Structure 1
Amino acid sequence: MQNPLLENFNTKHRSAPFNEIKEEHFLPAFQELIKISEKEIDDIVENNEEPSFENVIEALAYSGEKLDVVSSIFFNLNSAETNDEIQKIAQEVSPLLTEFSAKISQNEKLFSKIKKVYEEQQKYQLNEEQQMLLSETYKGFVRSGALLNETDKEKFKEISIELSKKSLLFGQNVLAETNNYFKHITDEKDLAGIPEAILQQYREDAKERNLEGFVVTLQYPSYIPFMTYAENRELRKELALANGKKSFSNNEFDNQNLIKEIITLKQEKAQLLGYKNYAEYVLEERMAKSPDQVTSFLNELLEKARPYAEKEIEELKTLAKADGIEEMQSYDHTFYAEKLRKQKFDIDDEELKPYFQLEKVQEAVFGLAKKLFGLDFVESTEIQKYHEEVKTYEIFEDGVFKALLYVDYFPRKGKRAGAWMTSFKNQFRKNGENSRPHISVVCNFSKPTSDTPSLLTFQEVTTLFHEFGHALHGVLADTTYPNLSGTSVKWDFVELPSQFLENFCYEPEFLRTFAKHYKTGEVLPDEKIQKISDSKNFMEGYQTLRQLGFGLLDMAYHSNADKVGDIKTFETEETKATNLYPSNPETAMSTSFSHIFQGGYSAGYYSYKWAEVLDADAFQYFKENGIFNPEIAAKYKVLLSSGGTKDPMELYKNFRGSEPKVESLLKRAFGS
């Protein structure tokens, strides 16, 4: 069988040939590419020349290039356009890749060569990036079990394989639960308070299911507007219960035991390597060096934020009492928060949405990248796509091709919830060529209807800017080695570029350039723009506590795996300091907490708040000197393009001139 995944991609920019790829191509491609990659490793090991930086460390960094590309294609499809067959293949492929990775990291001959180069590095006169590659390679092997005895190496490999399977299964269960639920409503009176544009979306969702009336789902663009505007409290409760019970229903998609299995395996993995727990293992390689430092950081913010959060909730309770609600519940929060926001700032999302047409917001973020970094975006119809809704852009700098960008904006049955940036190919330099990256931004925004384009809530506007901030980290990458390129940085540094870019959404000077009515072209009135800017910190105390709750729970799972009994009880206990509403015994957040049980945020969820300190401090630098200041933008571009070639604090200090100050975040959030 001819397999396009095994051939050189004869496409523009050597992009993924999606039109030619079939599901049956993946497993044989992985099997063959693993063999090819193993041969590359054997060549390094069997080389009779004296081990050197070039023939060991560099050779290893460039090995497995095609395998990496095919892995990226496959696992990105598994997130954005999956089906039963792809999920089945994923369960077969993940153990193969994990076993292959373990074979490399536990190859004694290979490690002895790496160790020799590492110990004799003074004789190689390495530059800073080469020193970083050597250090990261050596540490990576040690942290993957290279120093273990044979028995423990085998155990480490088995644990890693099991973890890869169980993490995949966790995400598949959450996706199934999200897709399996929908609420069919036939009486429009039950949808009182919901704007017409959202009702039209619900009608079209019903039509897709050959039903009369309206359908509400647990997909973000359907669920959130319902919780924000529906006056029917009982239906809000029903939807919130369905959302909170995802993978917490003692059915085939239940994740409770899976969580215990995952954290136990992680604990065993860390202890095999001599660490007390998985959090300690993870944080050794982060800007925050220890669980104690993270917990101290989170608790410091908690102490500062809780009084503000409690005051905010009291305001909401006053509104709810006027409607006869004596005890507010979590499913009332979004509804009354929107009411209060409208009262305080005279704005609501439905009023703002006509001014934020998706295409215009995208133009704005492209324009910002042009203004700050000199990038031009040109839509291309020559790049093959994995779904008809995907759009592709070639990015140029001074007329020279810089990167390929895929954007995928709307929810589908085969796409997991949320928003993310990923890549199909990293940037690197080899044999005199600067091989440019292929970057993808995936979101779940409201689809256009038959008579209305996709209109974004303001939160969706900030989401697009957030993911595009990550994308710029990949687009601007300019390093030698693929494993130090783009977002290949310390995990608690990776959110800086994304959260930094969100700040521009609140700047009146910038908003005026793109907040225009999709029908009339009228610019959003100045007073509304000012109110968006003024409302930036609305419910900041509550949102901070919510994030801190996630961060503390994450640290608890990965620091105290042996103390986790009943999932609901553990979750309630570990988040009680951040909870502002009564806990519902029928719901649990942990069972759909994909960031830490499927994604890469295990013992790392705190990094969102950690990076907020960085982004607040960085944007303050721009604010003091002009938000489009070219000199500061040029320095920031260096930070982005450097990837993981330097210690992140060094990169930050080179940009800012000093370490970040937590006061910058506190001042932005609470004015103190």
Structure 2
Amino acid sequence: MANDNPLLVLDGLPRFAHIEPADVMPALDTMLASLRALVEERLARAPAPDWDDTVGPLEVAEARLKRFWSPVAHLNAVADSPALREAYNAGLGRLTSYQTGYAQDPRLYRAYQAVAEGPAFAGLSEARRKVVTNALRDMRLSGVALPATPKARFKAIQERLSELASRFEQNVLDATDAFSLIIEDEARLQGIPATVRAQARAEAQRRGRDGFLFTLQAPSYIPVMTHAQDRALRRELYEAYVTRASQAACGRYDNTALAEEILVLRQEMAALLGYPHYADYSLATKMARDAAEVETFLTDLAHRARPAALKELTDLKAMAQADGVALEAWDTAYYSERLKERRYQFSEEDLRPYFPLPRVLEGLFTLTERLYDVRIRERQGVEVWHPDV
């Protein structure tokens, strides 16, 4: 029954311990049916649309939809499984179709427009006026004003892009998870902090292997790139990392074709709305006015940063040359750390004893309480998505 579905309990924090992949589609169907009924009911009312009668209830309903989907997306990101991935992908397609159709509904556009042009609009709070103007903007950016055929094409592109983006992210995740490197000779781990070596040994043991197991996950990858004296080890991990889900990796997670299709579809989508390219379409919701303004800003930033960057690069090359090597991409993090140690007698590892997790959390909460005048207290019995949370 719907009432038994933990995803439909929207009061309080998500019931992560109770959510199963099989819950996703039934809950989504229930949510979408409820939203469609609400839209029809509000649009059928006789009085002229206003905030209290039309916009407010619809915005609350949309917020509830996002609140429902958020735990699903979160679990897909942090607790991926084949069953959950299948449910997430199926739900994402249906959700994207609904949201694009909602944004393309001319009746909704006229209702929001009536509120924006009504006499009561000026009396609304700034936040509510912003909600209305943003909704109208987003509907236009979703093709609400297009003729029937290009509108249908725009909707199909949106749905396809949602699918491609999900597959792209999952390929990166799978390619990252698929890589592991076993080092049996501990002498190759010179320079790597003892805590990182211990984690690598524990991970190897967890997988039933001997030696030390390194991955492309940040807690494993970054310390190797920063501290490992073994240059070949750094290079092997670096090349594996930068070629994840690419043609160079020659694996089944190659994102090349997906990236090419995404670029083509984005250009077509922008052209349907009269934009010269996707960059200008994307910037319609941002502070910069157009792509030229962004390019000017970045170019100016590059010119200002370049002298300092070249000076640092020269220093790194000199340090590498002193070791008898020509600086390569897999050397920069390592020699940057050595340069910092030489200049400032300082290493990130020196800070580790002073920042254990409990002390960092205490400082974070204290600062938050001081800035925002709130009180943060631990709650018992809250369901989490992993025992370590």
8 Å CA contact retained: 1:173, 1:247: yes
Which residue is 1:322 aligned to? Answer: 322
Q: How does 1:210-609 map to 2 (within 5 A)?
A: 210-248=208-246, 249-325=249-325, 327-390=326-389
8 Å CA contact retained: 2:7, 2:19: no
Which residue is 2:6 aligned to? Answer: 5
Query: Residue 207 and residue 75 in structure 1: after superposition, are their counterparts in 2 closer, same or farther (change >3 A)?
Result: same
Q: 2:90 aligns with which of 88, 92, 99?
A: 92
- For the residues of structure 2 that align with 1:124 and 1:358, how far apart are their CA atoms? 49
**In the alignment, residue 59 of structure 1 is paired with which amino acid?**
P
Q: Which digits, 9 at most, give the CA deviation of each residue in 1:34-81, with x for residues without a partner?
A: 111111111122112222233222222122444222201100111111
Q: Which digits, 9 at most, give the CA deviation of each residue in 1:147-170, with x for residues without a partner?
A: 011111111110010011000000
8 Å CA contact retained: 2:24, 2:88: no
**In the alignment, residue 356 of structure 2 is paired with which amino acid?**
Q
- For the residues of structure 2 that align with 1:122 and 1:380, how far apart are their CA atoms? 43
- For the residues of structure 1 that align with 2:187 and 2:101, how far apart are their CA atoms? 62
What are the ranges of 5 or more consecutive residues in structure 2 without an aligned counterpart? Answer: none
Which residue is 2:164 aligned to? Answer: 166
Larger RCO (CA under 8 A, 6+ residues apart): 1
More helix by share: 2
- For the residues of structure 2 that align with 1:53 and 1:380, how far apart are their CA atoms? 36
Q: Would you say 1:23 and 2:18 are equivalent positions? A: no
SS of 1:239 mapped into structure 2: helix
8 Å CA contact retained: 2:7, 2:24: no
Which residue is 2:139 aligned to? Answer: 141
Deviates more, 1:14-23 or 1:124-133: 124-133
- For the residues of structure 1 that align with 2:355 and 2:276, how far apart are their CA atoms? 49
Query: Residue 376 and residue 120 in structure 1: after superposition, are their counterparts in 2 closer, same or farther (change >3 A)?
Result: closer
**In the alignment, residue 340 of structure 1 is paired with which amino acid?**
L
More strand by share: 1
- For the residues of structure 2 that align with 1:374 and 1:111, how far apart are their CA atoms? 40
| TM-score, length basis structure 2 | 0.95
Q: 2:46 aligns with which of 45, 48, 52?
A: 48
**In the alignment, residue 302 of structure 1 is paired with which amino acid?**
A
Aligned-residue offset at 1:143: 1.3
Query: Residue 160 and residue 153 in structure 1: after superposition, are their counterparts in 2 closer, same or farther (change >3 A)?
Result: same
Query: Residue 121 and residue 209 in structure 1: after superposition, are their counterparts in 2 closer, same or farther (change >3 A)?
Result: farther
Query: Residue 14 and residue 320 in structure 1: after superposition, are their counterparts in 2 closer, same or farther (change >3 A)?
Result: same
Deviates more, 1:134-143 or 1:163-172: 134-143
Higher Rg of the two aligned structures: 2
| TM-score, length basis structure 1 | 0.56
**In the alignment, residue 6 of structure 2 is paired with which amino acid?**
L
8 Å CA contact retained: 2:201, 2:212: yes
Aligned-residue offset at 1:7: 4.7
What are the ranges of 5 or more consecutive residues in structure 1 without an aligned counterpart? Answer: 391-672
8 Å CA contact retained: 1:187, 1:213: yes
Query: Residue 98 and residue 316 in structure 1: after superposition, are their counterparts in 2 closer, same or farther (change >3 A)?
Result: same
SS of 1:153 mapped into structure 2: helix
- For the residues of structure 2 that align with 1:385 and 1:69, how far apart are their CA atoms? 16
Which residue is 2:195 aligned to? Answer: 197
- For the residues of structure 1 that align with 2:101 and 2:304, how far apart are their CA atoms? 48
**In the alignment, residue 270 of structure 1 is paired with which amino acid?**
A
**In the alignment, residue 60 of structure 2 is paired with which amino acid?**
Y
SS of 1:215 mapped into structure 2: strand
- For the residues of structure 2 that align with 1:307 and 1:147, how far apart are their CA atoms? 49
Q: Would you say 1:67 and 2:65 are equivalent positions? A: yes
Aligned-residue offset at 1:269: 1.3
Which residue is 1:34 aligned to? Answer: 32
8 Å CA contact retained: 2:7, 2:23: no
Aligned-residue offset at 1:122: 5.8
Query: Residue 273 and residue 328 in structure 1: after superposition, are their counterparts in 2 closer, same or farther (change >3 A)?
Result: same
Aligned-residue offset at 1:281: 1.1
Q: How does 1:616-655 map to 2 (within 5 A)?
A: none
Aligned-residue offset at 1:187: 0.6
Aligned-residue offset at 1:230: 1.0
Q: C-alpha root-mean-square deviation of aligned residues, in Å?
A: 1.6
Aligned-residue offset at 1:123: 6.2
- For the residues of structure 2 that align with 1:140 and 1:7, how far apart are their CA atoms? 27
**In the alignment, residue 4 of structure 1 is paired with which amino acid?**
N
Identity %: 31
